[in-house]
Structure 1
Amino acid sequence: VFDWSPEYKRVDRRGAGPANASIFGRGAGEGFGVHIMTGPIYVRGAEPGDLLEIEFVEIRPRPSAAFPGKAFASNVSAWWGYQYHDLLDRDAKRETVTIFEIDMRCPAAARPLYSYEWQPQTDPFGVVHATIDYPGIPVDHSKVSHRDLSGSGVRIPARLHFGCIAVAPREADLVDSIPPGYFGGNIDNWRIGAGAKLYLPVAVQGALLSLGDGHFAQSDGEINGTGLECSLTGDIIIKLHKAGEGCPAFLRGLNSPLIETQHSWVIQSFSHPNYLRDLGSNAQSDVYKTSTIDLALRNAFRQTRRFIMQAYDLTEDEVLSIMSLAADFGITQVADGNFGVHATITKAVFGERQHSQRTARP
């Protein structure tokens, strides 16, 4: 994918920006929407108003071809991360790349191998990149100093998941994959792992499901701008829930991503659930300027209230009490332009009170 020489660039347009690099001059696509995705997958019979259920059966690291028995992953403390303007030395802005190794015989954890501080790199077409602002810039390792971390004793537990899972939104044809929204996208919630299900509202004919942005691990917040980025292989089952009386009550009216694990519901929201509609013609740039955790929490509160009232046929006052006592609200990410807040509530809270049986068509 990232083969690039002065004579040849395997994938020219890297992102949802203009092909002629007219905004920043960084390269075709401008680096907007940097994720490598599989899709779109056309779901027969899917129409706007329906719900798509994606079940993650298995997710596994993709082994290295060059180093048998190993897989590798990377994390970048990046310029778009929460930490960049709050370093201990405020005058020394820096980005740091850390490379991790996974032993495929026991892929339950990743260990750091080495790190280096980014130095300005000149790409094969002669453009200088002072920061990591464009996908796939070849790094001249003679210009960076490696710090050996192999003896650090640190181990990062596996939380394998795909950070970006989206159906096509109705509002735009060319969409930056970085800010998530009602259609899913760059959700970056580690709970969407093997055994979990993600429900997304269908907005266009065929749904057009795309998946990518493999993460070996990530914590809530994604505080330095990235997860533990890793090439993954996943097995999924896609089911279609048609709108109407046959649709389970807990999915009716769903207008944002909903995650189901074996024991919990996770209601996902963002600062702007539908930024493509609500922020006007410049939505894909303005979302980066207007997102706040306060907005994301308010939307998560509203969506959680609606979900529990509808799924379990409870009154608002009953639900408000339950939410304050048993729903954990957490910051999903502050790295993706449209900040995320999720609410997690265990199914055991509702005891014998069952939600409607689901009706799905594979």
Structure 2
Amino acid sequence: MMLRRWQYGLLSVGMVALLGILSASGGWLGRVGAQESQTHYLPANADTVHWGYFSQAIAPKLTVNSGDTITVETLTHHANDDAARMVAGDAGAESVYAWTADFKAVDRRGAGSIDPAVYTKGAGEGAGVHILTGPIYINGAEPGDVLEVQILDVKPRPSGNPDYSGRTFGSNAAAWWGFHYNDLIEEPKPREVITIYELDATESEDYATALYSYRWVPQSDPYGVVHEVIDYPGVPVDHSTVDENFEVLEGVQIPVRPHFGVIGLAPAETDIVDSIPPSYFGGNIDNWRIGEGATMYYPVAVEGALLSLGDPHAAQGDSELAGTAIETSLTGTIKVTVHKQSELSGTVLEDLYYPLLETDDEYVVHGFSYANYLEELGESAQQDIYGQSSVDKAMRDAFRKMRHFLMTTQGMSEDEAITLMSVAADFGITQVVDGNWGVHGILKKSILPPNV
């Protein structure tokens, strides 16, 4: 096995843990982690985030054991839509967003080239946009295992600006990648519109309200590159150039349901993977149900799993039609558990090859236009996926995964699985904006036989 340099340092720690588990139990436990569980805190700053991509080559920012609990800060990649409310006074956000004519704290923003002779908009070229905290290395996680991520708590990140104490803000971009963009009926068209939302950071209110909106106009970044549209993450908006409309959605209250648009593991296929299209490793699933009280299960593709979190949302509807949710910054507390491949038989995780969501009442499978686009579309997968997605393909993948779940974990025949899906499962459009479009299938636990 070829180890990366950072893994040599982890090897001795991992071997100590391994020997301890083996000597105590005579072998691997179904849930790795005979050690006493620990708690950790992972802040979001320029040293702990990677912007716009997943990679097995990134040195972990934290190493934990199975059963440990981690509080993770996450930042929205849309904070510069209103930097006064979402960046100013927040040391972590300021460190990530720092960008002047002479300095850029997080240079690579996306999975594209970082060769100045090649890129035209900025390092990474915006092929991937999300600020991801991590990765987190989980001792004992190996390819073929399943990583359980239990979301214990999700809280809004208060504005760091004392002028907005006790409030949290978020941005919704109705952008060029939205489903609506080429189907507008009012002038001017096409157009991109930013709506800034406000919510209560103390959580005494359970709704968000629109504060104001503005139409995107060309913006010059600190390097002097002009951005005609929203084509590179983190471009600061000069508010002297936009017309702010404070008469927007008056009297409308948006239910707040904080969740993470992106929770994912490092894929095995290649080192640098665009954060936008979701896949078997999770990533940008954009399902509003992945919030407090939910548990996600992911197939592990690389040693240590290399878990990252980001794309925090205050609220989103199924489809995420205009391109984004209410993009805000959140802090979540999660518990991670490794389920060893040898112990999965006879459980709901048997032969799991896709991201599975579990709540108190439901199982939710996630289908995509391509179950594993990196493998299915070949060398140019990260470019081709954006022109090949459809709801039809995603629905077929969701059907196949629900059929697999029922036949494999519930012992049903194919005929039984198909009739049950038709009469009792709810399929919905997760998102139509993330390159690899998504359909989810929801199955109520109450309809399944007891004690399975």
User: TM-score category by the smaller chain?
Assistant: over 0.9
Kept in 2: contact 1:20–1:27 (CA 8 A): no
Instruction: Quote how far apart the aligned CAs of 1:151 are.
Output: 7.3
Q: Per-residue displacement from partner, 1:105-124 (whole Å, max 9, x unpaired)?
A: 32411111000000011111
1:268 counterpart SS class: strand
1:147 counterpart SS class: coil
Match of 1:290 in 2: 388
Kept in 1: contact 2:213–2:248 (CA 8 A): no
Instruction: Quote how far apart the aligned CAs of 1:192 are.
Output: 0.9
Amino acid at match of 1:88: I
Task: Tell me: CA distance 1:270–1:24, structure 2 relative to 1, closer, same or farther (3 Å).
Answer: same
Kept in 1: contact 2:157–2:201 (CA 8 A): no
Instruction: Quote how far apart the aligned CAs of 1:286 are.
Output: 0.3
Kept in 2: contact 1:197–1:259 (CA 8 A): yes
Q: Does residue 1:217 correspond to 2:315, yes or no?
A: yes
Match of 2:429 in 1: 331
Kept in 2: contact 1:119–1:143 (CA 8 A): yes
Identity %: 53
Instruction: Quote how far apart the aligned CAs of 1:7 are.
Output: 2.1
- Distance in 1, matches of 2:355 and 2:196, equals 31
**Number of residues paired by the alignment?**
354
Task: Tell me: CA distance 1:256–1:17, structure 2 relative to 1, closer, same or farther (3 Å).
Answer: same
Kindly report structure 1 stretches of 4+ aligned residues shifted beyond 6 Å.
Answer: none
Match of 1:124 in 2: 222
Amino acid at match of 1:3: A
Match of 1:86 in 2: 183
What pairs up with 1:91-240 in 2 under 5 angstroms?
92-105=189-202, 106-149=204-247, 152-240=250-338
Alignment root-mean-square deviation, CA: 1.4
Q: Does residue 1:52 correspond to 2:147, yes or no?
A: yes
Instruction: Quote how far apart the aligned CAs of 1:246 are.
Output: 5.0
Kept in 2: contact 1:23–1:30 (CA 8 A): no
Match of 1:257 in 2: 355
- Consecutive unaligned residues of structure 2, counting only runs of 5 or more, are 1-95
The TM-score with structure 2 as length reference comes to: 0.76
Q: Per-residue displacement from partner, 1:287-332 (whole Å, max 9, x unpaired)?
A: 0011111110011001101101222111111111110011011000
Instruction: Quote how far apart the aligned CAs of 1:353 are.
Output: 3.0
1:220 counterpart SS class: coil
- Distance in 1, matches of 2:433 and 2:198, equals 24
- The correspondence for 1:73, drawn from 170, 179, 184, is 170
Amino acid at match of 2:108: R
- Distance in 2, matches of 1:231 and 1:114, equals 19
Q: Does residue 1:18 correspond to 2:113, yes or no?
A: yes
- Distance in 2, matches of 1:241 and 1:304, equals 21
Match of 2:451 in 1: 354
- Distance in 2, matches of 1:247 and 1:108, equals 41
Instruction: Quote how far apart the aligned CAs of 1:8 are.
Output: 2.0
Task: Tell me: CA distance 1:89–1:211, structure 2 relative to 1, closer, same or farther (3 Å).
Answer: same
- Distance in 1, matches of 2:351 and 2:116, equals 40
Kept in 2: contact 1:46–1:240 (CA 8 A): yes
Deviates more, 1:247-256 or 1:67-76: 247-256
Match of 1:360 in 2: none
Which structure has greater helix proportion? 2
Kept in 1: contact 2:344–2:350 (CA 8 A): no
Task: Tell me: CA distance 1:170–1:210, structure 2 relative to 1, closer, same or farther (3 Å).
Answer: same
Instruction: Quote how far apart the aligned CAs of 1:259 are.
Output: 0.2
- Consecutive unaligned residues of structure 1, counting only runs of 5 or more, are 356-362
- Distance in 1, matches of 2:276 and 2:214, equals 25
2:181 counterpart SS class: coil
Task: Tell me: CA distance 1:324–1:98, structure 2 relative to 1, closer, same or farther (3 Å).
Answer: same
Match of 1:42 in 2: 137
Instruction: Quote how far apart the aligned CAs of 1:85 are.
Output: 0.4
- Distance in 1, matches of 2:196 and 2:118, equals 31
Match of 2:38 in 1: none
Amino acid at match of 2:444: T
Instruction: Quote how far apart the aligned CAs of 1:22 are.
Output: 5.3
Instruction: Quote how far apart the aligned CAs of 1:150 are.
Output: 6.7
- The correspondence for 2:414, drawn from 307, 316, 325, is 316
Q: Does residue 1:305 correspond to 2:403, yes or no?
A: yes
Kept in 2: contact 1:249–1:310 (CA 8 A): no
Instruction: Quote how far apart the aligned CAs of 1:149 are.
Output: 3.4
Kept in 2: contact 1:312–1:353 (CA 8 A): no
2:370 counterpart SS class: coil
Match of 2:104 in 1: 9
Task: Tell me: CA distance 1:91–1:144, structure 2 relative to 1, closer, same or farther (3 Å).
Answer: closer
